[in-house]
Amino acid sequence: MSNIGNPVPSGPPAVQNGHPVTSVMPASTWALIEPRFSEDAKKKLATLVDFVQNECIPAENVYHAQISPDPVQRWKVVPPMMEELKTKAKKLGLWNLFLSKAHYPDVGIDLTNLEYSVMAEVMGRCKIAPEACNCSAPDTGNMEVFARYGTPEQKKKWLTPLLEGKIRSSFSMTEKGVASSDATNIRLSIKHDKAKKEIVVNGLKWWISGAGDPRCKVHLVMGQSDPENKDTYQRQSIVIVPADTPGVKVVRPCHIMGQDDAPEGHMEVLYENVRIPESNLIAGWGRGFEVIQGRLGPGRIHHCMRTIGIAQRSLDLMITRVTDTRRKTFGKHLYEHGVIVERVALSRMELDQARLLVLVAAIQIDAVRAKGALREIGIAKAVVPAMALRVIDQAMQLHGAEGICQDTPLAGFWSGIRTLRYADGPDEVHIQQIGKNELKRAPELRKILEQQEKRRSELFKTAGIKPHL
């Protein structure tokens, strides 16, 4: 125990087992997945670890201090620190890491989903790191939509500037007063004015992430285009609405436990007689559900990847706190209390289990794309946020009052991850689907049990004895 209270030295991340990632991930986990990493991906990952630890995390407080306290200005000025970090990330080759060339050969880079999952975890340790690398929501999901479903003209106008980090975007789906976890309930109207070759959009959306950002130039809007269609899953379409189109009004930010998340925000947005050209339709009429499934699958797992990073950093803060030799309670250092050791251990165990679920989902996406990995994605989406909340809560508890104030990132971590339990689909929806899929195995299981019972009877008959039960 002689070194337990010593401060962690500053500087580049320690290298264990030959790679810097083991400074943020158990060496045993890295050993398990390292054979699946290319040499280029390993080098990029090492660069990313250094960038997040020694550039992004030290810049967090500066970034937040640059957000104006003025209720109007905070939505007009982006902290200059972000552009500085983006410039550094580009020079280091840490840009647009999320698009896999295997799935998006025209715009992707040579990373698998597994490789990206570990990088997303590293970026997740710092709230501003994903944006610094142009890997933050909702832009990543929207870029996937443009890359997969966009026309050449749509890609040139919107995907290219998004990939270059020149603009930002929002995905406008959820509605006030509507149970949006069932997207068939969405009521925003999308009508085709064939005479004028235009699309007319009318309705109110809320919790539209990124819509408050002054750099947000485009909304992808989902609504009802064919409300009488007998197939409820062909009633919805998705259209491109430039943010400056007449009739688009950002009403207000929706606060998360008192935080407005400026300058991006989660906004209430009114679309009032918004007219856009026919060419702004995504994929085709009635294909809204197809598009959101293509978008939300990867998006959900990206959230899980980043959440693992948040949980890991929270655990690190917990360990640093309890091993601070300046702090004693009842004559003991905090780490000498059995209950504290138990909380650290349980957090470690839960975190590692959840990380493995995410890695398995990433491997499955690489093998069969997101559509073939819905089971793995759903399990991870239900398990990871709940796990992270428990780890963050323990870290907050062990920090005392400091854990719930602005002097640590923990309170912000907790409120952000709490929303993830219903963002991109609430826990209940994923759990329900997982349970239904498991129950479908019943006939197969009964068949196996019947075969076992038949064989058991044969063995008793051969042995010449009767069963005791």
Query: Is 370 a domain residue?
Result: yes
Regarding whether 271 and 180 lie in a shared domain, the answer is yes
Regarding whether 276 and 294 lie in a shared domain, the answer is no
Is 438 strand, coil or helix? helix
Question: Would the pLDDT of 156 be above 50?
Answer: yes
Q: Which residue's structure tokens are 């004693």? A: 328
Give the N- to C-terminal CA distance of the chain in Å, as an integer.
Answer: 55
Question: Would the pLDDT of 34 be above 90?
Answer: yes
pLDDT value for 268: 98
Regarding whether 370 and 304 lie in a shared domain, the answer is yes
- Per the structure, how many domains does the chain have? 3
What is the Cα–Cα distance from 456 to 276, expressed in whole angstroms? 70
Question: Would the pLDDT of 32 be above 70?
Answer: yes
What is the Cα–Cα distance from 47 to 132, expressed in whole angstroms? 14
Nearest to 205 by CA among 191, 181, 188: 188
Going by pLDDT thresholds of 50, 70 and 90, the confidence category of residue 24 is confident
What is the Cα–Cα distance from 26 to 356, expressed in whole angstroms? 12
Domain boundary among 241, 261, 282: 282
Regarding whether 266 and 212 lie in a shared domain, the answer is yes
Question: Would the pLDDT of 15 be above 70?
Answer: no
Regarding whether 309 and 339 lie in a shared domain, the answer is yes
CB 220 within 8 A of CB 294: no
Query: Is 444 a domain residue?
Result: no
Mean pLDDT value of segment 55-61: 97
Q: What is the CATH number of the domain that holds 267?
A: 2.40.110.10
Nearest to 308 by CA among 138, 141, 125, 58: 125
Kindly give the pairing relationship between strand 198-209 and strand 266-277. antiparallel
Query: Is 453 a domain residue?
Result: no
Q: Is the peptide bond before 79 cis (omega within 30 degrees of 0)?
A: no
Query: Is 163 a domain residue?
Result: yes
What is the Cα–Cα distance from 223 to 221, expressed in whole angstroms? 7
CA-CA distances (angstroms) from residue 224 to 188, 191, 193, 238, 435? 6, 8, 14, 9, 30
pLDDT value for 265: 95
CB 183 within 8 A of CB 236: yes
Query: Is 36 a domain residue?
Result: yes
| Mean confidence (pLDDT) of the chain | 92
pLDDT tens per residue, range 252-281: 999 999 899 999 999 999 999 999 999 999
Question: Would the pLDDT of 191 be above 80?
Answer: yes
Nearest to 303 by CA among 189, 388, 229: 388
Going by pLDDT thresholds of 50, 70 and 90, the confidence category of residue 11 is very low
Regarding whether 121 and 204 lie in a shared domain, the answer is no
Going by pLDDT thresholds of 50, 70 and 90, the confidence category of residue 422 is confident
Higher pLDDT pick, 405 / 369: 405
Mean pLDDT value of segment 328-352: 93
pLDDT value for 105: 84
Regarding whether 249 and 151 lie in a shared domain, the answer is no
Mean pLDDT value of segment 420-425: 84
Kindly give the pairing relationship between strand 168-172 and strand 216-224. parallel
DSSP letters along 166-205, please? S-EEEEE---TTS-TTSGGG---EEEEETTTTEEEEEEEE
pLDDT value for 371: 82
CB 127 within 8 A of CB 139: no
Q: Which residue's structure tokens are 């698998």? A: 112
Mean pLDDT value of segment 398-402: 94
Query: Is 11 a domain residue?
Result: no
pLDDT tens per residue, range 287-305: 999 998 877 666 778 889 9
Task: Quote the domain boundaries for residue 400.
Answer: 290-439
Query: Is 15 a domain residue?
Result: no
Mean pLDDT value of segment 90-114: 89
Question: Would the pLDDT of 417 be above 80?
Answer: yes
Q: What is the CATH number of the domain that holds 47?
A: 1.10.540.10
Most confident of 19-28, 180-189, 233-242: 233-242
Regarding whether 158 and 45 lie in a shared domain, the answer is yes
Regarding whether 434 and 295 lie in a shared domain, the answer is yes
pLDDT value for 299: 72
pTM given for the model: 0.90
Q: Is the peptide bond before 161 cis (omega within 30 degrees of 0)?
A: no
Going by pLDDT thresholds of 50, 70 and 90, the confidence category of residue 469 is low
Regarding whether 147 and 224 lie in a shared domain, the answer is no
DSSP letters along 110-155, please? S--HHHHHHHHHHHHTSTTHHHHTT--TTHHHHHHHHHHH--HHHI
Domain boundary among 282, 305, 321: 282
pLDDT tens per residue, range 103-148: 788 888 889 999 999 999 999 999 999 999 999 999 999 999 999 9
Task: Supply φ then ψ for residue 215, to 5 degrees.
Answer: -90, -5
Q: What is the CATH number of the domain that holds 298?
A: 1.20.140.10
Query: Is 13 a domain residue?
Result: no
- Here the tokens at position 367 are 């093998």
Domain boundary among 167, 183, 205: 167
DSSP letters along 286-299, please? T-HHHHHHHHHHHH
Regarding whether 213 and 276 lie in a shared domain, the answer is yes
pLDDT tens per residue, range 210-223: 999 999 999 999 99
Q: Is 284 left (phi over 0), alpha (psi -120 to 50) or beta?
A: left
Regarding whether 416 and 296 lie in a shared domain, the answer is yes
CB 384 within 8 A of CB 424: no
> 395: number of CA atoms within 13 Å, CB side?
27
Range scoring the smallest mean pLDDT among 60-69, 329-338, 395-404: 329-338
What is the Cα–Cα distance from 97 to 464, expressed in whole angstroms? 66
Beta bridge partners of 274: 201
Mean pLDDT value of segment 434-448: 95
